[in-house]
Amino acid sequence: MQFDYENILRKLMTPEIVSALGVVKQRQGEQRLLSGTRPETLSRLCDRAKIQSTGASNRIENISTTDKRLRELVRDEAQPRTRDEREIAGYRYVLDIIHTQHDDIPITPNVILQLHRDLFRYTGISFAGKFKDSDNVIAERSETGKLVARFRPTSAAATPFAIERICEEYRRQIARATFDPLLTSLVFAFDFVSIHPFNDGNGRMSRLITLLLMYRNGYTVGKYVSVESEIEATKETYYEVLAASSVGWSEGKNDYGPFVVYMLGVISACYEKLSAHLETLLRAETGEDSLRRYFNSLPGSASKREILEDNPTVSQRTTERILQKLQAEGFIEKVGAARATRYRKVKQREDEASTEGRAGGRG
């Protein structure tokens, strides 16, 4: 009853979800523009996405390092020094496998265990590649500061069977092809994180497996735009939908809808960003044109890291040169200092443009 995917997927065919899925599929079709993109540009998009994905997915779990070290670790230019960096390096290792070998990675319990082992390959922990050996609880802190159980995942004893069941159900639904494979993938991802099969690494594994399932079914946007970054940017909503869709899960009476709708929105937003990047390339827009347009539409300020992430078609060296040029001519200004440095469009120019627009009338 709990893992009856036929029934679950049928219930998910609501107007809201069908519409959201349609938007994703439409934007997926626009990805054909990739075929006309220069290989070096695609390589740069992939490089940025890997860095963003590795950083974001780990930061969600309060695992982090400096931006410089993150780039070096993802590009395999440095050895990890701390526990956090060892876990970051493990995530990068698994992400590389998924990016390059997704079509050859079957969805089985043994493969899931192997990926978990690789996630912790640099840490030396004893539980890497093994299902949990004791029951776990997903807790949250109440208003009084006391930790209370929000959700009780599958018991340690029942975990191997539960993982086997969802793998079987996933493969069966993909083979039948009655429902869109993306919906089946999202149901699998939610069941996986709800089972919480490991002592540690469940959140990161769920996001890696989500990418793996997406790629295997033709939804490869995460190679070029970070899905994990989009989740991190909406982290509060992410946790809210996980909680909403988990009510009644142990009895097979939960509603997967909130989680599925949220994830379809995340994936759609990633495709939209990819389309914007590709349109920029097709317009043969220069890096300076791209950054001017970026600051014209920026409602506040942005750090250098955010500017680089939002403009992956412009290299870091070119971005730094353009930022200096735009500052020199008074188009943008720097606020803050050192690590807190941010950039924003100079407000005086916005006021002048507004005045000129009013003076010109309707034209």
Query: What angle, 0 to 180 degrees and rounded to 10, lies between the N-to-C axes of helices 109-119 and 202-216?
Result: 120
| 193-246 confidence digits (pLDDT tens) | 999 999 999 999 999 999 999 999 999 999 999 999 999 999 999 999 999 999
126 band by pLDDT with thresholds 50, 70 and 90: very high
Specify the pLDDT at position 28.
Answer: 87
Comparing CA positions, the residue from 306, 297, 293 lying closest to residue 343 is: 306
CATH 3.40.50.300 is held by the domain 5-280: no
**Distances from the Cα of 252 to the Cαs of 11, 118, 196, in angstroms?**
13, 32, 16
Comparing CA positions, the residue from 218, 310, 222, 306 lying closest to residue 263 is: 222
Query: Residue 64: which residues within 8 A CB-CB, separation 6 or more?
Result: 55, 58, 84, 88
Domain ranges (residues) in the chain:
5-280, 287-360
Task: Dump the DSSP string for 328-357.
Answer: HTTSEEEES-GGG-EEEE-HHHHHHHHHHH
Specify the pLDDT at position 285.
Answer: 57
pLDDT beyond 60 at 350: no
Q: What is the mean pLDDT of the chain?
A: 89
Same fold, 5-280 and 287-360: no
| 71-86 confidence digits (pLDDT tens) | 999 999 999 999 999 9
Mean pLDDT to the nearest integer, 247-273: 95
Mean pLDDT to the nearest integer, 111-138: 95
Q: What topology does CATH give the domain 287-360?
A: Arc Repressor Mutant, subunit A (1.10.10)
Other CB atoms within 10 Å distance of the CB of residue 215: 20
130 close to 110: Cβ distance less than 8 angstroms:
no
Tokens of 68: 């410089």
* Cα dihedral across residues 125, 198, 157, 107: positive or negative: negative
Instruction: Note the pTM of the prediction, 2 decimals.
Output: 0.80
363 band by pLDDT with thresholds 50, 70 and 90: very low
Tokens of 350: 């916005």
| 291-341 confidence digits (pLDDT tens) | 888 898 888 888 988 898 888 778 788 888 999 999 998 999 999 888 889
Comparing CA positions, the residue from 98, 105, 97, 91 lying closest to residue 53 is: 91
323 close to 288: Cβ distance less than 8 angstroms:
no
pLDDT beyond 60 at 262: yes
pLDDT beyond 60 at 253: yes
pLDDT beyond 70 at 281: no
Specify the pLDDT at position 33.
Answer: 64
